[in-house]
Amino acid sequence: MPLYIRKLPCSMYCMLADENTLPANIAVYNPSKSKNLLYIRKTELNITGEINSIVMKHTTGSIVNISSPYDLLAKTVNLFRGLEDLRICEFKDRVWFSAACTHISENMDNELVIGVFNQDVSGIERVQMVDIGSKPVKNVIPFVFNDMLLLLDIYLNKIYELKTEEETGKWYVTVYKTLQPAAGVSTEKYRGSSAPIHINGTVFGCVVHDIIFNDNNSLVTRLSYLHHWIEFDIATGLITFISTPFWIYHWGVEYVSGIEKTEKGIDLYLGIRDKIPMRIETTLSNLRVGK
């Protein structure tokens, strides 16, 4: 049986950084957008591991480099250090984020981090590991609905609500909604990519992905990402639509980490080969069915 994949139609491709101007041991990739702010993951590769930090770019053009808050993290000898793959979200006049980290606690496992930047977004005010009952954790993504800060975990088909304990002030989550496919919709399991954006009524849409792995004798590596556009009704918990698979700019390791609804359509933010951040312009129609 033949297999098909489509290339997503896009009206513009924009590199957000020039790989050729960066030192050989520096990579910038996996951007996330929220209103006037753009986050880009920065990774410094050296012989002892990968050190992750934060680049925050404002639409005014100002750029702030922010180190991972090591004084708020557990000490580690892990190869992967700092906060990885932030997803930023504005909520109640502050910039919040989710991230992954291998040393947010002494468990030394990939865990979910929730944090908030200080008022002028020049540093991180607070971070905390939040337990969702499953490890390892990656790509649990914040978004706002009805004045609640929610977290989408598409891998487990859960939407969590972030809450605060009155006595301790600690954050915790409860299950706000369990997602399930509507009749006729694929039951395949996908992984998280972008935050959900509002489409209409109580319907939200986001990009998710699957991976083709290269299964060598000695090492399993990522060969290519396959993206899908999905839509779900947050009121009923039904996944109402999943598109056919598509690739965008680079057939291989390209990862959709950000999304923004604009007057023209929808902008997607990508990480290409874990080295380059990129923005592309497309439309809802293209995401659903475009070839």
Range of the domain at 277: 24-289
Q: Is residue 1 part of a domain?
A: no
Contact 19, 276 (CB under 8 A): yes
Per-residue pLDDT tens digits for 70-83: 999 999 988 999 99
Q: Is residue 13 part of a domain?
A: no
How many other CB atoms sit within 10 Å of the CB of residue 48?
Answer: 9
Q: Is residue 277 part of a domain?
A: yes
Residue 236, pLDDT > 70, answer yes
CATH assignment at residue 196: 2.115.10.20
Q: Is residue 8 part of a domain?
A: no
- Among residues 81, 79, 101, 97, which one has the least CA distance to residue 89? 97
Contact 81, 103 (CB under 8 A): yes
Q: In this predicted structure, what is the pLDDT of residue 2?
A: 67
Q: Is residue 16 part of a domain?
A: no
Contact 14, 287 (CB under 8 A): no
Residue 291, pLDDT > 80, answer no
Residue 258, pLDDT > 70, answer yes
Q: Is residue 15 part of a domain?
A: no
pTM for the model stands at 0.94
Q: In this predicted structure, what is the pLDDT of residue 214?
A: 85
Q: In this predicted structure, what is the pLDDT of residue 1?
A: 61
Alpha-carbon gap, residue 269 to 258, rounded angstroms: 5
Q: In this predicted structure, what is the pLDDT of residue 83?
A: 98
Q: In this predicted structure, what is the pLDDT of residue 212?
A: 87
Q: Is residue 17 part of a domain?
A: no
Q: Is residue 46 part of a domain?
A: yes
Residue with structure tokens 């590596």? Answer: 221
pLDDT band at 24 (very low <50, low <70, confident <90, very high): very high
Taking residues 226-237, what's their average pLDDT? Answer: 97
How many domains does one find in the chain? 1
Q: In this predicted structure, what is the pLDDT of residue 215?
A: 81
Per-residue pLDDT tens digits for 97-114: 999 999 999 888 999 999
Mark 207-228 as b/e (b = at least 16 C-beta within 10 Å).
Answer: bbbeeeeeeeeeeeeeebbebb
